[in-house]
Chain A
Amino acid sequence: MEQIGILEGRQKQVFEKKTGTTQADIACDTSSLSGSVSQRACVFCGSRVVLYPVADALHLVHGPIGCAAYTWDIRGAVSSGPELHRLSFSTDLQEIDVIYGGEKKLYQSLIELIDKYKPKAAFIYSTCIVGLIGDDIEAVCRKVAKETGIPVLPVHSEGFKGTKKDGYKAACHALMKLIGTESTEGISKRSINILGEFNLAGEAWMIKDYYKKMGVEVVATLTGDGRIDAVRRAHGASLNVVQCSGSMTSLAKEMEEKYGIPFIRVSYFGIEDMSKSLYDVATYFSDCPEIMEAAKGVVREEVTTLYPQLQKFKKALSGKKAAIYVGGAFKTFSLIKALRSIGMSVVLAGSQTGNKDDYRRLKEMCDEGTIIVDDSNPVELSKFILEKEADLLIGGVKERPIAFKLGVGFCDHNHERKIPLAGFEGMYNFALEVYQSVMSPVWQFAPRKGGLK
């Protein structure tokens, strides 16, 4: 087979773990190489994913139609009440607006939409073109907020002004403007916010339930099953628990600075990290030992049910090899542990937005010979999947067809999934999904596996 090379401009973003040699740090945190077919999206995407689950807000995309059309009902982020977030609103800018400016259209759209849908707040996303034609979005937002009496928040998410991470920041910036605008009366001292949990397939509800059993109040989940009023009270919590570290650490830092709320980083994927995320919260509230007791109780109960259920999968999957390519690096840490707990090893671990610390840690965790990659692309991913003979790829929609074309199992671990993979129950679902894909008899027909004829 023909050798697949790696583009010169990308060689420092890929390495294979070899102990006993000095390996330079991976290059990361840079914008994608032109023409490299990055799996990343843009600034707008970063903002949109973070704010998307706020269910009682109006999300208006200011720009031509594409950005709104491609993000209509895109996430599996569910709401227990209003579902305004599942609609798609766009100013649908036309050539004439590009020439004469889109401020009037934006103003008119906002007035009409707020009147029709009665949202608790509105987020206005700037897209590429708005950054060029110079609409004064801030002014329009101020005017509409004054006239309608609801917060109208500009989100500076022009696609080209940075990477997805800058989009996260812009979203956090908008949230920060809401936080601190409501009374915190009645909030318990033993309370937390969960940051970076988006309630995909109801995951936030499961997690909140664990904390509730421990006697810990969850003031706001940012942004899963999100509500504007809850966001406004978030500064009343004693601790911020940050799950998707890439997207929400900046908000946690800002809240620490402004409100003195400390934060811890957690992950809800896999038994080990899920349990730790309960213990870490309990440790923080160590003045109340019952919380730790309750946390132990929750873990005991859940693991007692889960552990035997996983054995069937472990038996089948032992020795199988996985490749991971996801958005945030923090998720890869948990996935490596989760895969190990069902007998699988990891031959490729990569992310779209990891930083130097993430990759150092990843290197420590990984087995000898594992490929570690930042901001990869289909060509590279295929190369490594084939070279390392992976049996499974974990990724999102854009990675899925690569796996299936090559006759490799696939587990959807991105924001479109409909199955909860977080929490203890999620670990069962994860193992089941991996098992069902890797062990399927259909691969016997794949050319790579001999192509039965």
Chain B
Amino acid sequence: MSQETKETQMKHAKTATQNACKLCNPLGACLAFRGIENCVPFLHGSQGCATYIRRYLISHYKEPIDIASSNFHEETAVFGGSHNLQAGLKNVTQQYKPEVIGIATTCLSETIGDDVEGILREYRKREKNGTPMPILIHASTPSYQGSHIDGFHAAVRSSVKALAEKGATGNLVNIFPNMVSPADLRYLKEILGEFRLPYMMLPDYSETMDGGPWGEYHRIPPGGTPARAIATAGRASGSIEFSSTIEPSKSAASYLEESFGVRKHHLTLPIGIKASDRFFALLETLTERATPERYEAERRRLVDAYADGHKYVFEKRVIIYGEEDLVIAMTAFLSEIGITPVLCASGGKSGMLRKKIEEIVPDLDEKEIKVREGVDFVDIEDEAQLLKPDFLIGNSKGFTLSRKNNIPLIRIGFPIHDRFGGQRMHHLGYRGTQELFDRIVNTVIEQRQNASSIGYTYM
């Protein structure tokens, strides 16, 4: 082992997480529950969890997001959360008149060992004749396990588990899009609409997290997938799930396949031409229709743009970080335009990151592509100082290291707290890839233009 490698490893021998490149489990669950129509996310734990998560989401989405909390006190922690949870559900029902309440646990309620399912059973029984009973969905999301993406998947899976029913198989398709932007969700819906494919998309926060102004007060913003639509998930002919790393035990599509025989189609998030092609090819197979002309046109323009911009990006070296599925999909895209992701990093720890990236770039060692999971931004910074990338791609939390080390940051994904319009940014399909490609090329152009003393007006 070279001295340098040893030193790098020494530097990494660190116990505390410094500037985390992940968020906690319940955040993902709250966002996913926001994608169900007339649903209030409810955190079973301390008041702070709900408030912090609201603040964090609002700073990205710029939308009101009400998350209820069972608001533990000391006695609650000692005697259990049953009383608070039930009182909270009653109050939320009264104030929001929701159709669904999405209950996610926190480290607190998980550690004291509350039997949430049991409490909900008791509540349903007791309140049977009271106010109208919303559907209560429970996702187990202890903050000491996994990260926000696990909470997201847990909420999606438990919603399907709670609601999906048996029935005659129709031509409906389920789509589980992963934690993508409201703009991405709208684009997916548009595509499925153009293919005339009836679908059930979960979650769908395309309107609830990026909606219009209100003439009057909405307790719960309009939009989202109705509970009755989720109920049809068991009768679908197939499920499309965008994820490279989701374990069957955490996947809604796997649940539907096991319980209802709904065939699952796992795809990488469709970013880049190849991955988007696979998505469109799947839609062609499922619908027995050709890809609508407008998407063929989008693809043609994208191929044309690749040609126009290829010289700017070829052999650029980037660090890509974020949720594992996003990192994998972005690596596929970057590889097809000749950019080398010198570091693919995630705060997540599925244990699959390297393997999945190897499937896309089999010669990753030769190309000196490093893959690291379970890292924080201090690890990424240490790597950046050695690897000297041309730019960083990831959420806005990389700004601290971007500024300090003078490496430009291209913001994608979640959260984007220091730029406007993160919720309207596309990532998926030909359209999203086009947007990403334009932004990457422009970053290179801007860098060159600024670095030149001549002041070129044509670049």
Contact = CB atoms under 8 A, between A and B. Distances in A.
Interface stretch (B12-20, B174-182, B198-206, B266-274): B12-20
A105 interface: yes
B265 interface: no
B288 interface: no
Contacts of A93: 107, 144
B67 A379 contact: no
A7 B94 contact: yes
A401 B111 CA distance: 34
B16 A89 contact: yes
Interface string B4-26: 00000000001111111011111
Interface stretch (A19-27, A143-151, A231-239, A404-412): A404-412
B19 A405 contact: no
A113 B16 CA distance: 8
Nearest to A74: B55
Interface in A66-104: 66-73, 86-95, 97-98
Interface string B57-88: 01100111111111111101100000011011
B171 interface: no
Given A7-B95, A42-B48, A129-B144, A382 B217 contact: yes
Given A7-B95, A35-B70, A128-B107, A159 B62 contact: no
Contact of B107 (A60, A63, A69): A63
B47 interface: yes
Contacts of B62: 400-401, 404
Contact of A33 (B16, B54, B91): B91
Nearest to B378: A87
A220 B111 CA distance: 41
B87 A68 contact: no
Contacts of A161: 73-74
A97 B111 CA distance: 11
A44 B243 CA distance: 35
B350 interface: no
A430 B54 CA distance: 26
A38 to B, nearest CB: 6
Contacts of A72: 19-20, 397
Contacts of A397: 55, 58-59
Given A71-B52, A92-B20, A451-B215, A37 B67 contact: yes
A378 B71 contact: no
Contacts of A309: none
B47 A90 contact: no
Give the interface centre of A39, A41, A45, A128 by most chain B CB atoms within 10 Å. A128
B18 A64 contact: no
A2 B59 CA distance: 29
B302 to A, nearest CB: 34
A7 B16 contact: no
Given A65-B22, A447-B213, A89 B47 contact: no
Interface of B: 14-20, 22-27, 42, 45-56, 58-59, 62-74, 76-77, 84-85, 87-92, 94-96, 106-108, 111-112, 142-145, 147, 213-217, 219, 397, 400
27 contacts: A32-B71, A33-B91, A35-B71, A36-B71, A37-B95, A42-B48, A45-B52, A64-B144, A72-B20, A88-B18, A88-B20, A89-B16, A89-B18, A90-B16, A90-B20, A93-B107, A98-B111, A113-B16, A128-B72, A129-B144, A132-B111, A160-B108, A400-B58, A401-B58, A445-B213, A447-B213, A451-B213
Which are the 4 A-B pairs with shortest beta-carbon distances?
A42-B48, A66-B24, A35-B88, A447-B215
